[in-house]
C-alpha cells in the first residue's frame, strides 16, 4: 500500500511530503528521522538499541518502510537529521542505515540536515513559505523536529526552483489516517470545513444549554428550548453542508445537543426515526457507544420493524463484539424484515464467521443467494461477497472464503477481488507448508517468473544463476544461532514444480551468504531467496537475499475480547 500511495502522490505532482515519524503508518515518500532520533536520545542508554527499537520504536519496520518509500517515490529532496544516531551500537541497524544512505547518495538525491529551531518559528515560517508558493499547508500538529524537517524541505525545494507544488500533511491524531490524499485537495478542504462546522455546533449547543433552566420545574421549558435549538442547528447545517453530508450534519447537531442534555427526552427526540439518527451519530463519534446503543434500543423498542433502527442497533452490537449472538439475532431479524437487503445478509454471514460458526454461516450464505434471487436483487460483490470473504480470511476460514469469492461473476472480478483471492491462495499454500512467497506472488507456476531479488548473473564476475530457492524463515533459534528456512528449490531448466526443502542455516553462514544488511536476529518470518551461482571457473557459491516485509493486509479488524476474558484484567 505504501508503494501505491507513494506512486499516487508522485503522480499528483507532490515532490516533497513530510511524514510524522510518530504516526503508525509511514505511508508517504520522504523522510525525516528527526523525531526518531529525538526519541532515541531519551532512551535508556543501558539497553541494547536493537531491543529498544524492537520493543518501543519498531525501528526495523520504520527503516524498511522508509527504504521502500524512497525507492518507490524517488523524491527530489531527502532530509536527514543526525543519521549517526540511527545505528548506534546495533550493527544490524547501522548497516541498514548505511545501505539507505548509500542508495540515496547514489541516486543523486539532495540531502539536508534539519535545522533545530523553535517549533513556533518553524510553523510560521512554513506557512509563510507555503503562502508564497501559493500552496496549502494544513494540519501542522506534529513533533517539533519534524516541523524543522518540513520547513527545511520546503526551503530546499524552493531554492532549487524546480518544484511545482508543495503540500505537507502531518497528522498525529489519526484524523486523516484513513483518508487518501486526493490530487486536487478538494476532499481536505471539505473535511476541514465539516470539522470546523462540527466545532461550532458543539460550542453553540453548550452555550445554549448553559442558559437553560436546570431545575425540575423548568424541565418542560428546557426541553422545548433544546428542541428548538436542535431544529435551528439542523436547518443551519442543511444550508451549509452539501447534500450528501446533510444526514451527518443533522446527526452532528443532535449529538452536540445530547452532550449537553441530561436525557434523550430533553431534546425532544421521541420518534424512532430521530432516535435512530441520534444513535448513528453517537456511534460515528465512537466516544459514547454505550449511549448510542441505548438510544438505538429505545428506537427499536418504539418500533420493532423500523429497519433503520434495527440496522443501527445491529451494527452497534456487532461492532462492539461483546455479544455476537445478539448481533446475529438482530441481523437475522433484519433479514426477515427485508429479504432483499444484501447488506444485512452480508452482516449476518460475517457475524456468524466472526462467531466461529462456519456451519451456520454456510447456511446463511446459501439463504442469502436464494433471497436475493427471489427479490430480483443482483448481488453486488463489493457489498456482499468481498466483506464476507475478508472476514472468513481473517479467521483462516479458507473453504467458505473460496466458495464466496468464486461466486463473483467473472465480469465483476475487479482488483479488490483479486487481492482477496491472492490472500486466499497464500493461506491455502501456507496451510500446506508452501509459504515461500509473499501474498500475491504465489501464482500458478510462480517459479517461471524467476527470483525477485537475485540477479541472473553476478555483476562482479558474471557467474550464472543455476538454481534458486524461494523460502521463508520458519524458525529462528537464537540460542543455537540457527535459522530454519522452509523453501522450494527451482533448478534452471527444470520445468517444475519445485521441490520442497528445509534448510538450517547458522548465523555465521548467514553472514557469509547474505547480500543484505538485515540482522540475523531480525530474520524470523522473513521471506528470502537463496541463489546458487556457477562462475566460469571455480566452485559454485551461494547468495542469500532477504525480501522486504509484505504490506499488512487490509482485512477487517477482529472483534474485541468478550467480557469473559476481560473480567480477569
Partner 1 sequence: MDDLAALADDDEHLHVVLIGPSPGESVLVGTPDGAWLVVDSMLGPTHPSQQDRHPVAEALRRLGAYPSLLALTHPHHDHASGLTDLINTYDDAPVGCVPVWIAPAGGMSSTAMLLKGDAEDARAAIERAWKDPVREWRLLADPSADRSLGTHGRVEVLSPSQQEADAAHAYPTPSFNAISAAMRVTWHDVELILGADLTTPGWQAVQGRRAPTTGDAAHMHKASHHGSDTGHHAWALGVAPPTHRPVGLTPYNVRVPNFAPGRDIDKLHDTIDELAMTAVPGYAGNPGPVQVASIRAARTATVGGVPAVGGRHLAFDAWWAWSLRPDGTVGTARHGSAANVVIR
Gap between the Cα atoms of 237 and 239, Å rounded? 5
State the minimum distance, in angstroms, from the CB of residue 560 to partner 1.
11
Sign of CA dihedral 563, 564, 568, 569: negative
Q: Is residue 426 a contact residue for partner 1 (CB under 8 A)?
A: yes
Q: Which of residues 34-73 bind partner 1 (CB under 8 A)?
A: 55
Q: Is 38 within 8 Å of 143 (Cβ atoms)?
A: yes
Q: Is residue 432 a contact residue for partner 1 (CB under 8 A)?
A: yes
Give me Rg for the CA atoms of the chain. 28
State the minimum distance, in angstroms, from the CB of residue 562 to partner 1.
5
Binding region for partner 1 (CB under 8 A) out of 2-10, 182-190, 336-344, 434-442:
434-442
Residue 519 CA neighbour count, 13 Å, CB half: 23
* Among 21, 209, 505, 528, contact with partner 1 (rule: CB under 8 A): 505
Q: Is 368 within 8 Å of 351 (Cβ atoms)?
A: no
Q: Is residue 484 a contact residue for partner 1 (CB under 8 A)?
A: yes
Nearer to partner 1, 99 or 501 (CB): 501
Residues near partner 1 (CB under 8 A), total:
72
Nearer to partner 1, 448 or 502 (CB): 502
Q: Is 283 within 8 Å of 290 (Cβ atoms)?
A: no
Gap between the Cα atoms of 349 and 7, Å rounded? 36
Q: Is 110 within 8 Å of 76 (Cβ atoms)?
A: yes
Binding region for partner 1 (CB under 8 A) out of 164-172, 214-222, 274-282, 420-428:
420-428
Q: Is residue 482 a contact residue for partner 1 (CB under 8 A)?
A: yes
Q: How many Cβ atoms sit within 10 Å of the Cβ of residue 138?
A: 18
Q: Is residue 531 a contact residue for partner 1 (CB under 8 A)?
A: yes
Q: Is residue 218 a contact residue for partner 1 (CB under 8 A)?
A: no
Q: Which of residues 379-398 bind partner 1 (CB under 8 A)?
A: 393-397
Q: Is residue 329 a contact residue for partner 1 (CB under 8 A)?
A: no
Q: Is residue 438 a contact residue for partner 1 (CB under 8 A)?
A: yes
Q: Is residue 458 a contact residue for partner 1 (CB under 8 A)?
A: no
* Among 467, 470, 520, 529, contact with partner 1 (rule: CB under 8 A): 467
State the minimum distance, in angstroms, from the CB of residue 208 to partner 1.
45
Gap between the Cα atoms of 317 and 260, Å rounded? 25
Distances (CA, A) of 286 to 178, 204, 323: 15, 21, 18
Nearer to partner 1, 108 or 539 (CB): 539
Q: Is residue 238 a contact residue for partner 1 (CB under 8 A)?
A: no
Binding region for partner 1 (CB under 8 A) out of 99-107, 108-116, 181-189, 476-484:
476-484
* Among 221, 399, 412, 464, contact with partner 1 (rule: CB under 8 A): 399
Which residues pair with residue 534 across a beta bridge?
Answer: 464
Q: Is residue 154 a contact residue for partner 1 (CB under 8 A)?
A: no
- The three-state DSSP-derived secondary structure of 331-384 is HHHHHHHCCCCHHHHHHHHHHHHHCCCHHHHHHHHHHHHHHHHHCCCCCCCCCC
Q: Is residue 472 a contact residue for partner 1 (CB under 8 A)?
A: yes
Cell readout for 390 is 475478508
Q: Is residue 254 a contact residue for partner 1 (CB under 8 A)?
A: no
Distances (CA, A) of 322 to 17, 300, 319, 328, 346: 41, 19, 8, 12, 19
Q: Is residue 559 a contact residue for partner 1 (CB under 8 A)?
A: yes
How much of the chain is in helix, strand and coil states, percent to nearest 5?
55, 10, 35
Gap between the Cα atoms of 474 and 436, Å rounded? 10
Q: Is residue 107 a contact residue for partner 1 (CB under 8 A)?
A: no
Q: Is residue 427 a contact residue for partner 1 (CB under 8 A)?
A: yes
Q: Is 147 within 8 Å of 18 (Cβ atoms)?
A: no
State the minimum distance, in angstroms, from the CB of residue 452 to partner 1.
15
Amino acid at each position: 500500500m505504501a508503494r501505491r500511495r507513494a506512486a499516487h502522490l508522485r503522480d499528483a505532482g507532490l515532490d516533497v511530503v513530510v511524514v510524522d515519524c510518530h504516526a503508525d503508518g509511514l505511508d508517504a515518500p520522504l523522510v525525516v528521522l528527526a523525531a526518531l532520533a529525538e526519541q532515541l536520545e531519551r532512551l535508556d542508554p543501558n539497553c541494547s538499541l536493537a531491543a529498544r527499537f524492537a520493543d518501543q520504536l519498531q525501528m526495523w519496520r520504520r527503516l524498511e518502510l522508509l527504504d521502500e518509500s524512497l525507492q518507490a517515490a524517488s523524491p527530489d529532496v531527502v532530509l536527514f537529521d543526525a543519521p549517526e544516531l540511527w545505528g548506534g551500537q546495533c550493527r544490524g541497524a547501522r548497516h541498514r542505515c548505511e545501505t539507505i544512505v548509500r542508495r540515496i547518495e547514489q541516486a543523486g538525491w539532495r540531502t539536508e540536515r534539519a535545522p533545530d529551531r523553535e517549533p513556533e518559528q518553524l510553523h510560521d515560517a512554513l506557512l509563510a513559505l507555503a503562502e508564497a508558493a501559493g500552496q496549502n499547508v494544513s494540519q501542522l500538529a506534529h513533533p517539533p523536529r519534524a516541523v524543522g524537517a518540513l520547513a527545511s524541505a520546503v526551503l530546499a525545494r524552493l531554492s532549487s526552483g524546480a518544484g511545482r507544488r508543495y503540500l505537507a500533511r502531518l497528522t498525529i491524531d489519526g484524523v486523516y489516517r484513513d483518508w487518501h490524499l486526493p490530487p486536487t485537495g478538494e476532499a481536505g478542504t471539505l473535511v476541514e470545513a465539516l470539522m470546523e462546522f462540527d466545532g461550532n455546533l458543539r460550542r453553540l449547543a453548550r452555550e445554549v444549554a448553559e442558559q437553560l433552566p436546570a431545575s425540575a420545574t423548568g424541565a418542560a421549558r428546557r426541553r422545548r428550548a433544546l428542541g428548538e435549538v436542535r431544529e435551528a442547528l439542523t436547518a443551519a447545517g442543511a444550508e451549509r453542508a452539501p447534500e450528501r453530508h446533510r444526514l451527518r450534519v443533522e446527526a452532528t447537531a443532535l449529538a452536540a445537543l445530547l452532550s449537553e442534555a441530561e436525557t434523550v427526552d430533553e431534546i425532544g427526540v421521541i420518534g424512532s426515526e430521530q432516535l435512530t439518527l441520534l444513535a448513528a451519530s453517537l456511534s460515528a463519534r465512537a466516544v459514547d457507544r454505550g449511549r448510542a446503543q441505548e438510544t438505538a434500543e429505545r428506537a427499536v423498542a418504539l418500533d420493532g420493524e423500523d429497519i433503520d433502527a434495527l440496522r443501527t442497533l445491529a451494527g452497534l452490537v456487532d461492532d462492539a463484539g461483546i455479544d455476537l449472538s445478539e448481533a446475529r439475532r438482530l441481523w437475522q431479524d433484519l433479514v426477515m424484515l427485508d429479504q432483499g437487503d444484501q447488506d444485512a445478509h452480508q452482516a449476518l454471514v460475517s457475524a456468524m464467521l466472526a462467531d466461529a460458526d462456519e456451519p451456520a454461516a454456510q447456511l446463511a450464505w446459501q439463504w442469502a443467494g436464494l433471497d436475493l434471487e427471489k427479490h430480483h436483487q443482483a448481488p453486488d460483490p463489493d457489498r456482499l461477497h468481498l466483506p464476507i470473504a475478508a472476514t472468513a480470511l481473517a479467521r483462516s476460514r479458507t473453504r467458505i472464503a473460496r466458495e464466496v469469492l468464486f461466486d463473483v461473476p467473472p465480469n465483476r472480478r475487479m482488483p479488490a477481488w483479486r487481492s482477496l483471492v491472492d490472500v486466499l491462495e497464500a493461506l491455502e499454500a501456507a496451510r500446506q507448508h508452501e509459504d515461500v512467497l509473499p501474498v500475491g506472488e504465489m501464482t500458478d507456476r510462480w517459479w517461471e517468473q524467476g527470483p525477485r531479488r537475485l540477479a541472473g548473473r553476478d555483476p562482479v564476475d558474471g557467474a550464472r544463476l543455476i538454481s534458486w530457492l524461494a523460502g521463508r524463515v520458519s524458525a529462528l533459534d537464537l540460542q543455537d544461532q540457527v535459522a530454519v528456512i522452509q523453501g522450494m528449490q527451482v533448478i534452471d531448466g527444470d520445468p517444475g514444480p519445485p521441490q520442497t526443502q528445509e534448510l538450517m542455516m547458522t548465523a555465521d553462514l548467514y553472514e557469509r551468504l547474505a547480500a543484505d544488511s538485515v540482522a540475523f536476529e531480525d530474520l524470523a518470518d522473513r521471506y528470502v531467496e537463496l541463489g546458487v551461482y556457477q562462475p566460469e571457473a571455480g566452485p559454485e557459491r551461494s547468495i542469500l537475499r532477504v525480501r522486504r516485509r509484505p504490506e499488512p493486509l487490509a482485512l477487517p479488524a477482529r472483534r474485541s475480547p468478550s467480557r469473559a476474558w476481560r473480567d480477569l484484567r
